[in-house]
Structure 1
Amino acid sequence: MNITVYGADWCPDCRRSKELLLRTQTEFTWVDTDQDADGKALIGRLQGGEPHIPTIIFEDGSFLVEPSDQELAAKLGVSPPPTS
């Protein structure tokens, strides 16, 4: 599965989504929108305005914006992490 995660290291939601991908051994490409103006512009166009992170784009062209762990797990077809 080809997944690209657009986000920033300072973003707690981005770190949470990356952790879920790593924990489920899902390969992905990371694009730091603080360092990549083209990446930031791309997600802004997808969202029709100001870009929100994390934005996760999947191989089929679908994408999630600021997904919960449950939403991301459902898209990946894996069990969601336990809620605390």
Structure 2
Amino acid sequence: MTDTDQKIKMYGTSWCGDCRRARNFFAENKIEYEWVDIDLDKDAVEYVKSVNKGCKSVPTILFPDGTLLVEPSSYQLKEQFGLK
């Protein structure tokens, strides 16, 4: 696995409020991740659609172990990282 394969990837858009909230959560908790703007990356759009039954649901967050969170709430993010 390469270094980028071991990072969390967040697929989203610049105009999405839930994406901003998730990005703020990651920043506030000093969690490193790779941001992928699906408006700028055709392959990323296709990936997001492939894991979301054809929908462009964002944020879609991919963890190194293959776990996905799609449009997670703040509670789900806290739970994923063991922050309560």
TM-score (normalizing by structure 1)? 0.89
Q: Percent identity?
A: 38
- What is residue 41 of structure 2 aligned with on the other side? 36
Q: How many residues align?
A: 79
Alignment of 1:3-82 (within 5 A): 3-79=8-84
Extract structure 1 runs of 4+ deviating beyond 4 A: none
Aligned to 1:70, what secondary structure does the other structure show?
helix
Structure 1 residue 51, shift from structure 2 partner: 1.8
Q: Which runs of 5+ in 1 are unaligned?
A: 80-84
Q: Which runs of 5+ in 2 are unaligned?
A: 1-5
Root mean square deviation of aligned Cα: 1.1
- What is residue 3 of structure 2 aligned with on the other side? none
Aligned to 1:6, what secondary structure does the other structure show?
strand
